[in-house]
Amino acid sequence: MLVLAHRGYHAEVPENTMAAFGAAVKLGVDGIETDVRLSADGKPVIIHDRVSPKKRAVEELSHRELESDVGHPVPLLPEILEDRK
Binned at pLDDT 50, 70 and 90, residue 84 comes out as low
Residue 83 binned pLDDT confidence (cut-offs 50, 70, 90): low
pLDDT at residue 43, as a whole number: 98
Report the distance separating Cα 61 and Cα 63, nearest Å: 6
Give catalytic residue positions: 6, 48
Average pLDDT, the chain: 95
pTM for the model stands at 0.89
Burial 65-77 (b: 16+ CB within 10 A, else e): bbbebbeeebbee
